[in-house]
Amino acid sequence: MPVVDVVNLDGKKVGQVELADTVFGAEVNKHLLHEASRWYLAGLRRGTHKTKEKSEVSGAGRKLWRQKGTGRARVGSIRSPLWRHGGTVHGPKPRTYAYALPKKMQVGALRSALSAKLAEEKLTIVDAWTLENHKTKALRTALGKLNAETTALLVAAGDNRNLELASRNLDGVKLTASNALQAYDVLRHDRLVVSKDAAARLVRALDPERQPAEAPHVESIAAAPAPKKEAAPKAEKPAAKKPAAAKKPAAKKGKE
């Protein structure tokens, strides 16, 4: 395993770290680097180009002169593509240039890019991105001590507000997270500066020999017991009322 020195922002050595051969010592595949760069740049294209067709340009739709008898070529519209200021035939239309690249090719290209930087001795591991403030001058001074005077790609793990504010106004300096690192960005910048935590995350994510986490084997899952229903208290029935005695109809008074 390659051993790389760990330095602080003052450029002083504070320790060492071992990097995986499968990630930082892999064989550089130029074909994968080319394909990954081409895929990344294609995804950045907006594709907003547009030309006007015959039905979209300005101009009347009337026939300019009669079909026969004038000796001139027949014409149907002033907006014809053959005429000046006419429509454009088969012109570009809004579209997306993005396409899918296999995940294995993306990961393989990133391994090749990281290995190339380490082989060229243009990889720097810092202990942590501990900045006291968000001033650009402080970060510029720190990068100068880390031999990153031209273009530099900073890789951090987690949110760092001071680093984000200090780096966004520096020409040739780009900040990215370890899970968003692209092979094109690694190749485009001269110096790669990675924090110790970000390097560990890259090894853990890109190592092809890592063992996937296995869930414990469960033969069967017992069904949850059904909740018991509590018997509702019986309501007391009201006492039955005695039926009222029927009244005898009064006798009618008739004539004697």
pLDDT per residue over 96-128, tens digit each? Answer: 999 999 999 999 999 999 999 999 999 999 999
Beta bridge partners of 191: 152
Output the CA–CA distances (angstroms, integers) from residue 201 to 16, 28, 33, in the order listed: 16, 21, 21
Residue-wise pLDDT for 86-98, tens only, equals: 999 999 999 999 9
Residue-wise pLDDT for 154-198, tens only, equals: 999 988 899 999 999 999 999 999 999 999 999 999 999 999 999
Determine the Cα–Cα distance for residues 152 and 143; give it in Å rounded to an integer.
8
Q: In the chain, pLDDT over 70 holds for what percent of residues?
A: 86
- Is residue 45 in a domain? no
Query: Given this model, what pLDDT does residue 49 score?
Result: 95
Tally of CB atoms within 10 A around 229: 6
- Is residue 46 in a domain? no
- Is residue 140 in a domain? yes
Query: Given this model, what pLDDT does residue 7 score?
Result: 92
Residue-wise pLDDT for 51-84, tens only, equals: 999 999 999 889 999 999 999 999 999 999 999 9
- Is residue 158 in a domain? yes
Determine the Cα–Cα distance for residues 76 and 82; give it in Å rounded to an integer.
11
Determine the Cα–Cα distance for residues 2 and 176; give it in Å rounded to an integer.
24
Number of domains in the chain: 1
Query: Given this model, what pLDDT does residue 161 score?
Result: 93
- Is residue 196 in a domain? yes
Domain, as residue range, for 193: 3-39+100-206
Q: Euclidean distance between the first and final Cα of the chain, in Å?
A: 138
- Is residue 65 in a domain? no
pLDDT at 28 over 80: yes
pLDDT at 138 over 60: yes
Determine the Cα–Cα distance for residues 246 and 96; give it in Å rounded to an integer.
96
User: What one-letter code names the amino acid at 169?
Assistant: N
- Is residue 211 in a domain? no
- Is residue 125 in a domain? yes
Query: Given this model, what pLDDT does residue 41 score?
Result: 96
Q: Is 19 exposed, middle or buried (0-12, 13-18, 19+ CB in 10 A)?
A: buried
pLDDT at 133 over 60: yes
Determine the Cα–Cα distance for residues 203 and 107; give it in Å rounded to an integer.
12
- Take residue 151 and report the two structure tokens written for it: 């273009």
Largest interatomic CA distance in the chain: 143
Residue-wise pLDDT for 192-245, tens only, equals: 999 999 999 999 999 887 766 666 766 666 777 777 777 667 766 666 666 666
195: domain CATH number is 3.40.1370.10
